[in-house]
Structure 1
Amino acid sequence: MSDAGLPPNWEVRHSNSKNLPYYFNTATKESRWEPPSGTDSEKLKVYMAQHHSAPTFGADGNGVNEGKIRAAHLLVKHKESRRPKSWKEANITRSRDEAMSVILSHEARIRSGETSLGDLATSESDCSSARKRGDLGFFGRGEMQKEFEDAAFALKPGEISGVVETASGLHLIER
């Protein structure tokens, strides 16, 4: 196994029930969704992008169930976010302004054609959906935070939103 940047006794395992990677301590048998403290975030990002990224997001954004859409997103959290931690950082300390700067940089790279939202989400999103290229699957009205839902439903398939702010943080959404 290549270096995932985890502290001693920690490894990345795969949950079959959720089809997502998680963190497991072989000594204490503790398991968790967020990386343990002491994790090297940069090494973990590279490791997860290489070993735990999902197939390309290719849905047209139209739901099979009436009234549902499919979307992917890239989330940048900040210290005022509802849960200021993620799969790559046990404690997020960046300010809202710093998070805005980060997400605007991501948006510029996506809009320039340098990269795609899905490719960038794999290593940069603070949501566990990063493992699935940001894919949130199908959802209907009332299933997401209102600001997120309003922005997602306003997009046409293939479109990417501007920055959308919710209690979770700052998002770019692709339908």
Structure 2
Amino acid sequence: MSVWEVRMSNSKGLPYFFNTETKQSVWDPPSELSKEEVENLPGAKEHLSSGAGGEGRPGQVRASHLLVKHSGSRRPSSWKEENITRSQDEAVEILRGYQEQIGGDTKKFAELAKEHSDCSSHAHGGDLGFFGRGQMQKPFEDAAFGLEPGQMSDIISTDSGVHLVLRTA
């Protein structure tokens, strides 16, 4: 019986591999496991995307986001700012400016997310990968699932801050 299982990161919205004996977490599949063994781990069917083509499982969407945190965010700090003191209204105004710059340009969205998003997903242009229902905060989930691929949401607010969500698949 394998000591590994697949879990979902709440902060990144990405699957990771957890060793139940050592309590070690790793992003990449354990090297000692074959592809078939990885696919049969507990949690693999729920959390791993099928195939290398970048397609999610049924019931999943893929989205990117641009997050602006504020002083009322559950963790008012980020990779670029240790102590975020702006108000929610100020965060919304900043996001409105980004929204205007983006227009409908998905490349511009990724550029602005990479440069300005308060989420660690900024390193990937805001890409959160595939996720299903129950894996994101409810307002974020509702926005992502309510969009068609290529559509961008208006500003939504969660416990994390204010976001623009771009559904990518």
Alignment of 1:151 onto 2:143: yes
Query: 1:109 touches 1:115 (CA, 8 Å); kept in 2?
Result: no
C-alpha change, 1:120 and 1:65, in structure 2 (3 Å) is same
Query: Residue 118 of structure 2: SS of its match in structure 1?
Result: coil
Q: How big is each residue's C-alpha offset from its partner over 1:85-141, in whole Å with a ceiling of 9 and x where there is no partner? A: 001011101111110110000001001659621110001000000001000000000
Q: Of the two, which has the highest radius of gyration? A: 2
Alpha-carbon offset, residue 64 of structure 1: 2.4
Q: Work out the CA distance in 2 between the residues paired with 1:66 and 1:112.
A: 27
Q: Work out the CA distance in 1 between the residues paired with 2:27 and 2:122.
A: 14
Q: Work out the CA distance in 2 between the residues paired with 1:136 and 1:73.
A: 7
- Say what the alpha-carbon RMSD is for the aligned residues: 1.9
- The equivalent of 1:111 in structure 2 is 103
- The equivalent of 2:65 in structure 1 is 73
Could you tell me which amino acid in structure 2 is paired with residue 111 of structure 1? G
- Which residues in structure 2 correspond to 1:120-135 (within 5 Å)? 120-135=112-127
TM-score by length of 1: 0.63
Alignment of 1:161 onto 2:129: no
Alignment partner of 1:138 out of 127, 130, 135: 130
| Runs of 4+ residues deviating >6 angstroms | none
Give unpaired runs (5+ residues) of structure 2: 1-25, 29-53
C-alpha change, 1:137 and 1:112, in structure 2 (3 Å) is closer
Query: Residue 99 of structure 2: SS of its match in structure 1?
Result: helix
Query: Residue 152 of structure 2: SS of its match in structure 1?
Result: coil
Task: Tell me the matched-pair count.
Answer: 117
Percent sequence identity over aligned pairs: 52
